[in-house]
Amino acid sequence: MFLWGYKKMMFCPKCGSLLMPKKEGNKTIVECKCGYKSNDKIQTTFKEEVKKKETIKGVADGDMETLPITDADCPKCNHKKAYFWEVQTRAADEPPTKFLKCEKCKHLWRDYL
């Protein structure tokens, strides 16, 4: 994601929209979606912001004793019992994701509610 910085915000004199920088040759100009272009010299600064992906952490084997157990078929070993917990991995208006970990082989999988 790139963020543009200006000494002051520049708005289109025709329609009032925010003017956006654009490279033309070796010059940087500002233009509007309505077609207005300004050839005034502008100073811009560029800042790149890198957002890290969120990773979902599992539960350590030592913490398994405190989790509830449910009836679930393990896709790896077909054992019938698994530990489970829920995490809100999506938007607040979406249901939580249910994580299951096989009691026998420790295989981890998700169940989207």
- 103 part of the active site: no
Reported CATH class of domain 61-112 = mainly beta
pLDDT digits (tens, 9 = 90+) for 24-65: 777 777 888 888 887 766 665 656 677 776 665 656 656 666
pLDDT at residue 58 in the model: 58
- 86 part of the active site: no
Q: Which of 61, 73, 94, 111 is catalytic?
A: 94
Kindly state the average pLDDT of the residues 87-97. 86
Is pLDDT at 67 greater than 80 in this prediction? yes
Q: Which of 49, 54, 71, 93 is catalytic?
A: 93
Per DSSP, the residues of the chain read -EEEEESS--B-TTT-PBPEEEEETTEEEEE-TTS-EE-S---EEEEE-PPPPP------GGGGGGS-EEE---TTT--SEEEEEEE--S-TTSPPEEEEEETTT--EEEEE-
